[in-house]
Amino acid sequence: MTSNLPTVNLGQSGLRVTPICLGTMTFGEQVAQPEAHAILDRALERGVNFIDTAEMYAVPAKAETCGATETIIGEWFARRPGVRQQVVLATKVAGPSRGMPWIRGDQSGLTRAEIVAACEGSLRRLQTEVIDLYQIHWPARNVPVFGQLYYDPSKDKPCASLHEQLEAMAELVRAGKVRAVGLSNETPYGVHEFVRLAEQHGLPRVATVQNPYCLLNRTVENGLDETMHHLGVSLLAYSPLAFGLLTGKYDATGIDAADAPAGRMALYDSMKKQRWGRPEALATARRYSALAREHGLTPTQLALAFCYTKWQVASTIIGVTSLAQLDECLDAWGTTLSPELLKAIDAIRWDSRDPAL
């Protein structure tokens, strides 16, 4: 049961990955270790060589599950000798707290010492000597992310400079603990500045940016894609199914009904309060579901094919809670969207814009 997946370069790093990446933030919350290991086994069996995680996972974030996902992956490596060498492993250092003081306290500014210590913790939990792609999960500086619409300079506060953060990454690369570095939830300014500093000071050049990209959030196309194209930085698209909204499973019930299908949007009130829980997001998802069915596709096929076939995307990060979901996501590879269908997608976006930005 293999998949015919090619490999692509990540930026200028030399890392080659499959265009589908297994995201793991459900491991340790919705998915217990035995099931997580089965999913990892199946992904590898089907040709996926790219795994993404983070020190703060599982999600929803809680003190008692912080680091649980990395620990589960580390146990998978330990129980399957040789598997570590078959995959490209990505993880992330968390930015400032955002209500998670159990990580590094409320005053974290992503200093050099914090980045180095975070990496050491990830290496221990992952039971590996090197992280292939080490990413800054979200900026330490004040930026409009996770559903915020506007940049407000009055909210700026002290934090480690981008130069200091990049120097910490350089230290980890020199020590052989990290192969390449990346960003996440970044802006065009941030990507430009990280690349400029790397070139000016001989520091590691960011290979990737991991940002949301899906039918309900195409803000990457509002300038970040141009930045990444010209600077040779690859996009890792997360939430291609918009936390399940774009699978069509909530079309009939919504996310609040007692009979809503199981899934993170129905299970967790904290998720309902985020951008994916906006009524406009579900309303627009229903429009895309109807469009998919009109063209003989499932909503999942449409949403994933949109990401899989876009020139902006190097690798699409899929998150699953079962083998059936994993197979469905992998089976969508190779689905093509006609010019007529792409035009209809753009018409919905023009009308609804990006309701889950």
Q: Which residues are catalytic?
A: 57
The answer to whether 8 and 314 have CB atoms below 8 angstroms apart is: yes
Closest CA to 243 of 116, 144, 147, 122: 147
Lookup: tokens for 121:
């913790």
Q: Alpha-carbon dihedral of residues 79, 82, 84, 86, nearest 10 degrees?
A: -130
Residues 6+ away with beta carbon under 8 Å from 219: 211, 212, 354, 357
Q: Alpha-carbon dihedral of residues 5, 58, 74, 107, nearest 10 degrees?
A: 120
The answer to whether 51 and 21 have CB atoms below 8 angstroms apart is: yes
Residues 6+ away with beta carbon under 8 Å from 98: 138, 146
- Helix, strand, or coil here: 131? strand
Q: Where are the alpha helices (DSSP H) in 16-141?
A: 33-45, 68-79, 101-104, 112-126
Peptide bond into 240 cis (omega under 30): no
Lookup: tokens for 210:
């991991």
The CA-atom distances, in angstroms, between 17 and each of 62, 89, 90, 209 are 31, 10, 11, 14
The CA-atom distances, in angstroms, between 260 and each of 1, 99, 181, 322, 345 are 32, 28, 40, 18, 26
